[in-house]
Amino acid sequence: MVVHIDRLITCRRQSVCAAAFLLALGLIAAGCRHPAADGDGGPGDPSPMRSPDTIVVGYSTDMTSVNELISPNTALHTALHYFMLFMPLLKEQPDFATGPPTWKPLLARSWRFSDDRRQLTFELRPDAVWSDGEPITADDVYWTWQAQIHPAVAWGSAVIKRHIVDVEVLDPHTVRVYFDRPYANQLIDVAGSGVVLPRHAWSALPFEQWRANPQWFADHLVTSGPLTLERWQPGERIVLRRNERYFAGDPPSYERLVLLVIPDENTRLAHLRRGDVHLIEVMPASAARLAGEPAITIERYPTRQIVFIAWNHLRPPFDDPRVRRALTMAINRQQIIDTLYHGYALPTATWYGNDTWLSHGDLQPLPYDPQAARQLLAEAGFADDDGDGILERDGRPFRFELLTNEDNQTRGDIMVMVQEQLKKVGVAVDTQLLEFNTLVARELAHQYDAAVSSYGIDTSFDLSGILHSKATRTLNVMSYSNPEVDRLLEEIQAAIDPLATKPLHLRLQELVHRDQPATLLYQPQRLIAYRGLSNVEPTPLSVFWNVASWRLEPEP
């Protein structure tokens, strides 16, 4: 249920894809500053953290708050909130390649639906406690739901809870959730979408003041996960320590885990090579350079992220599916993968990616075929009448502006390659890099021609947020509209049995592939490099999916 982007982002069902239009960005922490210990080094200096009981991870960005409901939807925040500091009721398993994802007990030890599936009852673990020793109860679950839907909190994924009409505390360890109707994703929407927060520690601050006080939560933090916060130096490091009251398994064998903020990848690589840092995420070119070093392990793992070019259908000629198909066939996607990803990405024909149980195995990406692209453009009325190498229609040259965010070098390189490739079929492209928030604002306002973007589908596999015609005010920045696609999306949402929806999903993929509302460039794989660690199991849900089980190992 999550996703990443070129360097950080994770779209997750656990914080869902209301913000799933994921564009890589660098975040600067805006939070509390705890007093630094004597001898702490400056940013990117891991040497004071060297210890036989401390794991050090080099990371490109910092957090903004320990409170999920007021934090941006990034891979780092997903890792901190879901796998380190807090717990949801259930833990999603990364087994969505063969069927709907399964769930294991976490804070809840059992759950059951009523016969009409309008009620869902959870029994909480009686041994569940916060890191300060206070019990975790049904009151925490109820209060968390209140926070999730409160308009002043303005949680970015509050839409997930739209079908929940009430939450009732039956006793300290039993909570019942009421729905307005039965549907397939009820369990995900309750148990896997949002961690349970500590009412006794955080209810002292009114919901209306949460957004204005992000650092307050770190100063009043108690946790339920395997780790808790020892110290946070914004822009430098996040120091986590073992939660001695962790109840959902064996506590971590290490004492501390340090997330060291190192924005520059070359600096992260240098620290890894020296042994100052145990684990980093790496780009494909860097992985190729590290591959021959015996002390370092390179591991790749899949994502459900799709990198694509969004075409704005409100601006001709992108309203014509022939033009969109032509542009896709004029872009050499395999060359982009080979050049920029060194093979660590896969071409894809579907928004579902290549490795999920709903992927349409018979769909193939449109071929790279400039000649066929020229023919389609001619059918759409384009010709180079003045012989200047640029196609025209109705006296206007086929020239458009391609945008992306300025802090993502890979996407900048993609724009340059696309510019050169489309030039060969007579289409002129002007490229522009924008500050992240400016880019998002223009896309949401539909004030753009085309943009290199990214989307990560969660494991509910609900594409209505980006493909339904009614979603044009949110993630459907393409203004894509197909009545049959809308109908299929609505049928999928209304279904109770996920397995019964597979034919609907397959037909949906066929229609979208035909319409080409966007050009799907590739599905990237993610790469980590580590040394001195064992039992590291990254999954599409997170690099830190089993962080409580990581082990420090002596290096030769």
Least confident among 17-21, 53-57, 277-281, 485-489: 17-21
Name the residue with tokens 């196609």.
391
Q: Which of 271, 269, 265 is nearest to 291 (CA)?
A: 269
User: How far lies 53's CA from each of 164, 262, 332, in Å?
Assistant: 44, 21, 48
What's the CATH superfamily of 90-201? Dipeptide-binding Protein; Domain 1 (3.90.76.10)
**HSE, side-chain direction, 13 A CA sphere, residue 239:** 20
CA–CA separation, 297 vs 538, rounded Å? Answer: 13
Q: What is the overall mean pLDDT for the chain?
A: 89
CA angle 79, 196, 192 (to 5 degrees): 65
* pLDDT band (50, 70, 90) for residue 41: very low
Rounded percentage of the chain residues whose pLDDT exceeds 90: 73
pLDDT reported for residue 28: 26
Closest CA to 10 of 144, 142, 157, 183: 157
Q: What is the pLDDT of residues 329-354, one digit of tens each?
A: 999 999 999 999 988 999 999 999 88
- Domain range 13-65+79-86+222-300+529-552, CATH class: alpha beta
Best CA proximity match to 427, nearest among 330, 334, 325: 330
Mean pLDDT in residue range 139-165: 95
Q: Is the pTM of this model over 0.85?
A: no
CATH code for the structural domain at 305-525: 3.10.105.10
Tokens at 391, concatenated: 């196609």
Question: Quick one: which H or E segment has residue 115?
Answer: none
Q: For 216-238, what is the mean pLDDT?
A: 96
Residues 6+ apart with CB under 8 A from 194: 14, 15, 68, 69, 88, 144, 148, 155, 157, 160, 161
Q: Is the pLDDT of residue 260 over 70?
A: yes
**What are the pLDDT digits (tens) for 178-204?**
999 999 889 989 988 899 999 999 999
Percent of the chain residues topping a pLDDT of 70: 91
Spell out the residues 6+ positions from residue 270 whose beta carbon is closer than 8 angstroms to its own.
none
Q: How far from 15 is each of 26, 161, 249, 304, 362, CA to CA, in Å?
A: 19, 11, 24, 15, 31
Domains of the chain by residue range: 13-65+79-86+222-300+529-552, 90-201, 305-525
Going by pLDDT thresholds of 50, 70 and 90, the confidence category of residue 50 is low
Q: Which residues contact 483 (CB under 8 A, 6 or more apart)?
A: 469
Token pair in block for residue 428: 């002129």
Q: pLDDT of 374-407, one tens digit each?
A: 999 999 999 999 999 999 999 999 999 999 998 7
